[in-house]
Amino acid sequence: MSRRTAFSAQTLAVLAALVAQPSDWRHGYDLAGETGLKSGTLYPILIRLADREIVEACWEEGQPAGRPRRHLYRLTIDGLAAAAAALAEGPRVAAQTAKPRRAANRRLAEEGA
Amino acid sequence: MEQFATMLTAMLRAAERLLPPGRRQWAEAARAEAVQAPGGWSRVRWLLGGLWLVAREAGVMRKVMYWTGVGAAAVVASWTIWLSWRAVRLPYFDPQAVTDRVRILAGIAAIVVLPWVGRRRGWFGPVGSSITARLVRVAGCAAMCGLGVVVVRMDSHLQRGANVGPFSLPREIVGLLPLAGALAAALPWMRSRRKKADTGALWALAATGAGTMLVVLPLQALSIGYVAAILCVTARGSSVATVSLFAGACIGVASGFAIWAVVTAWGNDDQGLIPIVALMAGLLAAPAGLIAGWARPDTGDPEESRVARMRQGAYAGAVAGAVCGLVLTYFSVVAVFMMLVGPLAGALSGAAAGALAAQYPIRPRIDGSWAAGLFVQVRAR
């Protein structure tokens, strides 16, 4: 049995969200809303991806009014290639993650986010 | 709810210090994003996730479990020593009380000292990454602590004049000297293993020491040996596969209960049951060897695969036999011989089952799926 991908379904969902807008910096709550992942799941994934240099992270520049600075994420150049390859390998995973993503979007909509 | 969220924010800020400096920014990020969440339960959930992140990244749960285990071992040791101490003052003086104390101290010392001794070379640690390895290590050490309690309680309920002797200092010294000798022999052997040094003499010395120990101080020697074996097979560098460990542990527990049920039904006073019990333990360990053999991936070389499957089968069988022996000893300390015979019988039958698994391997299903039944989905490539 050969392992086709080293990424879990949740990680692929995060990668899919980041691949959709590869040049944009995304923040954690934004990614959580899109993927349906809770913060306790999302951040460990982002940590692992950053450790593997698939994702780069930085703090928002300047001090915005009325809220703390955000921690921002986007794919590195190598990470973009790796994410595209992983997503091409795992279309089944995308279907599996669609359900929690829809549920999360519905929940956020209900909450008025 | 807002007050609760404020409290969680403060807790998260304080907990961030538990993380190494390179990781703190992630907890700070989770805290910063919490203000984006709409108030109420949604924000609380987000902050709880942040606390979970800290607990996970700082290894808090692991530390809590570790120190809980250390505390439990200390409590068991203290309780057992108190039991044996109290027994000396009771009218029905337990002649084994001091011996029990030595047994318990030997077992606890093994749990504490062996990981420390073996840490540098990775013989006993760190623990394997699988849940099975962690569970087997924790449950095994707990079982060894519990076994001490069982022995002490049994001895304290024996009547005076039973077939037990008082504490003998010469006997303990005679037993502990071979123990020290065996360890002194085993350590150089381990060091010289890669240098292809002549290990025959060391093996003989270690076997003599271990044999003497088993005769003179069976429980002390077995407890030290079991603790060492538990730490060794659950270590990260162990050659025992997770499947072998899992199958061996599960089947060992089941076979221990099954054998005890049979023995109870038959009449456990019959000495003739001893070989039958050993045979049953061996036979019941065979499925573990079979599972371990089948789970071992094919290497491409038939002879190499056969040897690897036999080896994993022997490991799984030995684990099953050891666990079975431990369970039986819990039911009756008289069955302590099974802690020695069980692993040997299990290893033999497990190796035979592993050879059988190599002879009749399970064919991998279509597309590598192990799903049973008719509905095996074939993925388009």
pLDDT exceeds 50 at position B185: yes
pLDDT exceeds 70 at position B162: no
Which chain B residues contact residue A25 at CB under 8 A? Answer: none
Query: Which tens digits make up the pLDDT trace of B205-219?
Result: 566 666 666 666 667
3-state secondary structure of A72: strand
Q: Which residue has the higher pLDDT, B77 or B28?
A: B28
Could you identify the residue written with the tokens 């069982």?
B150
Which one of A15-24, B16-25, B104-113, B159-168 scores highest in mean pLDDT? A15-24
b/e burial code for range B41-79 (CB count within 10 A of at least 16 → b): ebbbbbbbbbbbbbbbbbebeeeeeeeebeeebeebbee
Predicted pLDDT at A42: 92
Residues 6+ apart with CB under 8 A from B21: none
Q: Which residue has the higher pLDDT, B220 or B276?
A: B276
Mean pLDDT of all residues belonging to chain B: 77
Please report, in tens digits, the pLDDT of each residue of chain A (113 residues total). 334 446 888 899 999 999 998 889 999 999 999 999 999 899 999 999 999 999 999 998 888 888 889 999 999 999 999 999 988 876 555 545 444 555 555 554 454 43
The answer to whether the CB atoms of B38 and A113 lie below 8 A apart is: yes
DSSP class of residue A55 equals E
Residues of B with CB under 8 A from a CB of A: 23, 25-33, 35-38, 42, 45-53, 56-57, 297, 364, 368, 379
How far is the CA of B380 from the CAs of A51, B25, B206, B370, B377, in angstroms? 33, 43, 58, 17, 9
Predicted pLDDT at B368: 47
Mean pLDDT of the region B158-182 = 57
Predicted pLDDT at B380: 42
For chain B, the distance separating the N- and C-terminal CA atoms, rounded to the nearest angstrom, is 52
A111 touches chain B (CB under 8 A): yes
* DSSP secondary structure string for all residues of B156-196: HTSPTTSS-----HHHHHHHHHHHHHHHHHHHHHHHHGGGT
Structure-derived torsion over alpha carbons of residues B211, B214, B220, B222, reported in degrees to the nearest 10: 90
pLDDT exceeds 70 at position B256: yes
- Determine the Cα–Cα distance for residues B147 and B79; give it in Å rounded to an integer: 13
Neighbours of A100 (CB within 10 A): 16
Query: Which tens digits make up the pLDDT trace of B73-113?
Result: 778 777 766 766 665 555 555 555 666 666 667 777 777 77
| Residue whose C-alpha is closest to residue B230's, from B375, B366, B349, B124 | B124
Closest residue of A to B42, CA-based? A111
Predicted pLDDT at B381: 41
Nearest to A40 among B38, B42, B49 (CB): B49
Residues B98/B171, Cβ–Cβ less than 8 Å: no
Confidence of residue B330 (pLDDT cuts 50, 70, 90): confident
A33 touches chain B (CB under 8 A): no
Residues 6+ apart with CB under 8 A from A61: none
Which chain B residues contact residue A69 at CB under 8 A? Answer: 32
Quick one: what percent of chain B has pLDDT higher than 70?
67
Could you identify the residue written with the tokens 């097979």?
B233
Give every strand in the sheet of A71-75, ordered side by side.
Answer: A26-27, A71-75, A55-59
Confidence of residue B379 (pLDDT cuts 50, 70, 90): very low
Closest residue of A to B39, CA-based? A111
The answer to whether the CB atoms of A40 and B52 lie below 8 A apart is: yes
Mean pLDDT of the region B158-165 = 50
A91 touches chain B (CB under 8 A): no
Query: Which tens digits make up the pLDDT trace of B40-49?
Result: 888 899 999 9
Which chain A residues contact residue B47 at CB under 8 A? Answer: 39
Residues 6+ apart with CB under 8 A from B279: B345
Which chain A residues contact residue B32 at CB under 8 A? Answer: 67-71
Kind and range of the H or E element at A102?
A: helix A91-111
pLDDT exceeds 70 at position B39: yes
Mean pLDDT of the region B169-190 = 61
The answer to whether the CB atoms of A46 and B368 lie below 8 A apart is: no
Predicted pLDDT at B196: 52
Which one of B105-109, B267-271, B354-358, B377-381 scores highest in mean pLDDT? B354-358
Confidence of residue B371 (pLDDT cuts 50, 70, 90): very low
- Determine the Cα–Cα distance for residues A18 and B6; give it in Å rounded to an integer: 31
pLDDT exceeds 80 at position B120: no
pTM of the model: 0.60
Which chain B residues contact residue A1 at CB under 8 A? Answer: 297, 364, 368
Which chain B residues contact residue A32 at CB under 8 A? Answer: 46
Predicted pLDDT at B200: 61
A39 touches chain B (CB under 8 A): yes
Predicted pLDDT at B211: 67
